[in-house]
Amino acid sequence: MKTFQFPGQTKFYKGKVRDVYTIDGKWLVMIASDRISAFDVILPRPIPYKGQVLNQIAAYMLQATKDICPNWLLECPAPTVSIGQKCVPFKIEMVVRGNLTGHAWRTYASGKRTLCGAPLPEGMKENDYFPSPLITPSTKAEAGHDEDISAEEIVAAGLASEADWQTIKDYALALFERGRELAAKRGLILVDTKYEFGKIGDTIYLMDEIHTPDSSRYFFSEGFEERQARDERQPQLSKEFVREWLISNGFMGKEGQSVPAMSDEWLQTISERYIQLYEKVIGEKFYPQSLTEDEIADRVTQSLQKIRG
């Protein structure tokens, strides 16, 4: 994806999935690429329309939760672009888990009964509901793997004050509850997700994307209990199926491992799964849009002129 130069641009950062442009030190232009990452590694081939799916789901969910807490988003001038306020980020990811799956299940299956300081009840099966949602934070690494961390360690390390920790904890749980409600209306279960927060002055804002297939995991509500009773796998809408494919092909992001080759057919399958999640979560048909780089630049420039005054 092309690197742009926008009016007032003061900084550029290429993330795993998004290209981020800082404008006047006050605003961010975030362009969602079709890149896909797993195990903190960017996979070699892009996924068609993934960026549009992520950007449009995130915009929808930010709009649907803005009564819970302030968020950074101002405008979406193009299908893959969001423009919003620049915050000073907390260097932690607020992972909220409603079910025992993914990393939590792998931890549980290894015999451990705590995760990030949170107790894990005995006698649970994979994908069972927790008695109440758990917050299992992780440090947000600039490079390499994020690391699990407890609330006590976060405060002790100065990553958040006690007051700020309580605020972002309350926000994260309220956002997760709203996410569950929205998912339930679509016949889905929001299983787990992550949130990122930052500050402008003394005000805490929700940042980045929320409730997308890159940041969240969804199960289908219909038949969930029956599948659990029969110890069957739960079909899900998330990118976990990509991680599972990588694991089955001998890759978990560890030193010395190589990313397996991704065929055109496999890329198309991943793209279709992302589009399926969009249509299921939003309840509307997905219309792929392919703008030229010049069209994207023009739309962003026009939005910035309006925002900058």
Categorize the per-residue pLDDT at 45 as very low, low, confident or very high, splitting at 50, 70 and 90. Answer: very high
Q: Which of 30, 32, 34, 33 is nearest to 72 (CA)?
A: 30
- CB contact set of 140 (below 8 Å; sequence gap of 6+): 89, 91, 92, 93, 146, 196
pTM, entire model? 0.90
| Average pLDDT score over residue span 48-61 | 96
Dihedral of CA atoms 91, 30, 188, 146 in degrees, nearest 10, equals -30
Is 90 exceeded by the pLDDT of residue 114? yes
pLDDT-above-90 percentage for the chain: 85
- CB contact set of 111 (below 8 Å; sequence gap of 6+): none
Length of the chain (residues):
309
Q: What is the pLDDT, as a whole number, of residue 217?
A: 92
Domains of the chain: 9-86+274-308 (3.30.200.20), 89-241 (3.30.470.20)
List for the chain the helix, strand, coil content (%; round to 5).
35, 25, 40
Cα–Cα distance measured from residue 33 to residue 18, given in angstroms and rounded to the nearest whole number: 6
Question: Using one digit for the tens of pLDDT, what is the confidence trace for 236-286?
Answer: 887 878 988 999 999 998 889 999 999 999 999 999 988 988 999 999 999
List the Cα angle 204/28/39 in 5-degree steps. 80
